Amino acid sequence: MGDQKNPNDKRVADAQRAHWQAAYTQHPQMYGTEPSEPARHAAEVVRTAGASTVLELGAGHGRDALFFARKGFTVHATDFSATALEQLTAAARGSGLADRITTTVHDVRDPLPVPDSTACLMRQAEVWRRKDRAAGSSLARAGCRAGTVPT
């Protein structure tokens, strides 16, 4: 969060990170294992657009990332919570999808950890509700094609 000028921003981010670490530790699979409706819709839209790679911000424990991988996409999943991503990695291994999913602990307010412009974005409803402009700017700098998915 190097662009932050307000020291309160770091405190807020640290508190949010602690919240999500605790939430995923105490409630593994808290969102279930079935993909969200926005993910089901996004898979069709992204496939029609000709993309084969999905960048998912706020992937959590990975119910949507696993769905995308089962549909044949390569998935790069990011989340605030290392615990959630550990759960996703374990589920991917257990499902035989580990070769299709990579994970990175990432704060959407920071520049995106993508190597090139091949990623197509599917953002979780929570991030869309926040209307996170910092993430949008990161996407533009990374050259990602971004799109919204109705929630």
Report, as an integer, the average pLDDT of 116-145: 46
Q: Which CATH number fits domain 7-142: 3.40.50.2300, 3.40.50.150, 3.40.1180.10, 3.30.300.160?
A: 3.40.50.150
Report, as an integer, the average pLDDT of 120-130: 43
Instruction: Please spell the DSSP secondary structure of the chain, one letter per residue.
Output: -TT---HHHHHHHHHHHHHHHHHHHHSTTTT-SSPPHHHHHHHHHHHHTT--EEEEET-TT-HHHHHHHHTT-EEEEEES-HHHHHHHHHHHHHTT-GGGEEEEE--TTSPP--SSS--EEEE-HHHHHHT-HHHHHHHHHHT-B------
Distance of CA 25 to the CA centre of its chain: 18
Q: What band does 64 get if pLDDT is binned at 50, 70 and 90?
A: very high
* pLDDT for the residue 114: 61
Report, as an integer, the average pLDDT of 30-45: 85
What is the token pair recorded at 77? 């999943």
Going from N- to C-terminal start, the domains of the chain cover 7-142
Q: What band does 128 get if pLDDT is binned at 50, 70 and 90?
A: very low
Q: What band does 2 get if pLDDT is binned at 50, 70 and 90?
A: very low
Euclidean distance between CA atoms 21 and 53, whole angstroms: 27
* pLDDT for the residue 142: 46
* pLDDT for the residue 9: 81
Place of tokens 């869309």: 128
Euclidean distance between CA atoms 97 and 43, whole angstroms: 17
* pLDDT for the residue 14: 86
* pLDDT for the residue 52: 86
0.75 cut: is pTM over it? no
